């Protein structure tokens, strides 16, 4: 039986409720760390204390009173899903340093990967060139062989390629949907393999279906988990550049692989380099950017 403490139970309920968002939940935690008083708030309390409009408060109260955390825990256990709240020992320490961390993650797979030191986020276009696969093997395979964890979003294109390159090593997929509705459908087999041998996480309830707005939102987790973010083939207006911006905001390193000025998929990466991202021609270009000496970086777990 999955053992879940009282605070985690409350966070699970909040995560499944409509009407309030992540920032409101963090405000609730600040004012009531154990979340013992959720049942005592009136609609007026929600408005005056937390700025939640009455219609949203009514929706939240309806959802909150209609669910049982024990039932949710049974559902998670049945699907081998583990809730990882912000106070859990396995919660990624690196995520605690970002400005907008998830208060709860759902995980399936090897939880020890969550706090890996040598971790690199990899993002890029959903429509990569033929050359991209060769470039990625050249850069990522040596890192994987040296124990680096590759983090990506399991999307088509660069994301999926990154996970597959890292399958013989260590990789984490961060979904923009719940774990019961992995996206895209074309990566169903990849998802199953990652759940079995690697790690898949999401901040959304397991039952949450993919929504367009969730994918750019989850990118802050992809960038937040890594020491840095590597961008491989991206147009000037793409989700990959959003991830790169978030990495910068989080104080992470940003790397980019250059490409031809004649190709749209290189316009975003070339622009990043122009703006100060580290140009990557060789895998050493990535590890050289970090402050630890070469040998120490490779020995650190």
d(CA 75, CA 73): 5
Q: Is residue 99 included in any domain, yes or no?
A: no
Cis amide leading into 275 (omega within 30): no
Q: Is residue 53 included in any domain, yes or no?
A: yes
pLDDT in tens, 14-25: 999 999 999 999
Mean pLDDT of 92-105: 97
Q: What is the dihedral of CA 173, 179, 182, 183, to 10 degrees?
A: -70
Same domain, 265 and 143: yes
Same domain, 141 and 202: yes
Query: Quick one: pLDDT band at residue 297, thresholds 50, 70, 90?
Result: very low
Mean pLDDT of 194-212: 97
pLDDT in tens, 123-155: 999 999 999 999 999 999 999 999 999 999 999
Mean pLDDT of 151-170: 97
| The pLDDT value given to residue 296 | 46
| The pLDDT value given to residue 94 | 97
d(CA 283, CA 288): 9
Q: Identify whether the C-beta of residue 165 lies closer than 8 Å to the C-beta of residue 193.
A: no
DSSP 8-state assignment for residue 199: E
Q: Is residue 95 included in any domain, yes or no?
A: no
Q: Which of 30, 61, 79 is the last residue of a domain?
A: 79
Same domain, 271 and 204: yes
- Own/partner contacts of 113-117, CB < 8 Å, gap of 24 or more, are 113/149, 113/170, 113/171, 113/172, 113/198, 113/199, 114/84, 114/90, 114/172, 114/199, 114/201, 114/225, 115/90, 116/149, 116/170, 116/301, 117/227, 117/300, 117/301
Same domain, 118 and 21: no
Q: Which of 59, 79, 99 is the last residue of a domain?
A: 79
Query: Quick one: pLDDT band at residue 4, thresholds 50, 70, 90?
Result: confident
Counting the structural domains of the chain, the total is 2
Same domain, 63 and 119: no
Q: Give the bridge partners for 203, in sequence order.
A: none
Same domain, 12 and 159: no
Distances (CA, A) of 114 to 27, 167, 178, 260: 25, 16, 18, 36
Q: Which of 28, 61, 79 is the last residue of a domain?
A: 79
Distances (CA, A) of 169 to 59, 121, 163, 166: 45, 15, 10, 5
CATH code of the domain containing 125: 3.40.50.450
Q: Is residue 230 included in any domain, yes or no?
A: yes
Q: Is residue 86 included in any domain, yes or no?
A: no
| The pLDDT value given to residue 105 | 98
Is it the case that residue 177 has pLDDT exceeding 60? yes
Query: Quick one: pLDDT band at residue 228, thresholds 50, 70, 90?
Result: very high
Same domain, 136 and 231: yes
Is it the case that residue 45 has pLDDT exceeding 50? yes
| The pLDDT value given to residue 67 | 94
Report helix, strand or coil for 231. strand
Question: Which residues have CB under 8 Å from 185's CB, separation 6+?
Answer: none
Is it the case that residue 187 has pLDDT exceeding 60? yes
Is it the case that residue 293 has pLDDT exceeding 90? no
Q: Identify whether the C-beta of residue 42 lies closer than 8 Å to the C-beta of residue 60.
A: no
Same domain, 130 and 51: no
Q: Is residue 105 included in any domain, yes or no?
A: no
Q: Is residue 192 included in any domain, yes or no?
A: yes
Query: Quick one: pLDDT band at residue 282, thresholds 50, 70, 90?
Result: very high
For residue 27, what are the domain limits? 6-79
d(CA 114, CA 70): 25
Residue with tokens 């622009």, as numbered in its chain: 271
CB crowding 218-237: b at 16 or more within 10 Å, else e: bbbbbbbbbbbbbbbbbbee
| The pLDDT value given to residue 237 | 83
Same domain, 66 and 155: no
Mean pLDDT of 42-66: 95
Q: Is residue 98 included in any domain, yes or no?
A: no
Same domain, 270 and 205: yes
* Average pLDDT score over the chain: 93
Greater pLDDT, 185 or 2: 185
Report helix, strand or coil for 246. helix
Same domain, 115 and 37: no
Percent of the chain with pLDDT over 90: 91
Q: What is the dihedral of CA 299, 194, 230, 245, to 10 degrees?
A: -120
Same domain, 141 and 208: yes
Q: Taking the CA of residue 103 as centre, how many other CA atoms within 13 Å lie in the half-sphere pointing to its CB? A: 22
| The pLDDT value given to residue 2 | 61
Kindly state the tokens that stand for 223. 């960038």
């Amino acid at each position: 039986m999955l053992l879940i403490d009282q605070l985690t139970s409350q966070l699970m309920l909040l995560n499944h409720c409509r009407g309030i968002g992540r920032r409101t939940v963090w405000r609730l935690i600040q004012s009531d760390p154990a979340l013992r008083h959720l049942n005592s708030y009136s609609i007026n309390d929600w408005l005056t204390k937390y700025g939640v409009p009455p219609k949203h408060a009514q929706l939240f109260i309806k959802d909150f009173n209609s669910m049982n955390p024990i039932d949710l825990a049974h559902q998670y256990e049945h699907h081998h899903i583990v809730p990882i709240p912000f106070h859990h020992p396995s919660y990624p320490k690196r995520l605690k340093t970002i400005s907008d961390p998830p208060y709860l993650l759902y995980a399936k797979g090897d939880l020890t990967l969550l706090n890996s030191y040598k971790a690199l986020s990899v993002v890029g276009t959903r429509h990569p060139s033929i050359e991209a696969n060769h470039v990625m093997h050249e850069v990522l395979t040596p890192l994987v062989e040296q124990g680096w964890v590759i983090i990506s979003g399991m999307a088509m294109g660069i994301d999926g390629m990154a996970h597959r390159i890292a399958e013989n090593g260590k990789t984490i997929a961060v979904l923009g949907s719940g774990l019961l509705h992995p996206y895209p459908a074309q990566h169903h087999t990849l998802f199953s393999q990652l759940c079995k041998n690697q790690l898949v996480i999401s901040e959304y309830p397991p039952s949450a279906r993919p929504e367009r707005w969730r994918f750019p939102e989850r990118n802050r987790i992809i960038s937040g988990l890594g020491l840095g973010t590597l961008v491989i083939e991206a147009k000037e207006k793409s989700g990959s550049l959003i991830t790169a911006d978030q990495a910068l905001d989080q104080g992470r390193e940003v790397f980019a692989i250059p490409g031809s000025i004649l190709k749209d998929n290189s316009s975003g990466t070339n622009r990043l380099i122009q703006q100060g991202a580290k140009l990557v021609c060789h895998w050493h270009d990535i590890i050289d950017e970090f402050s630890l000496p070469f040998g120490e970086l490779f020995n650190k777990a």
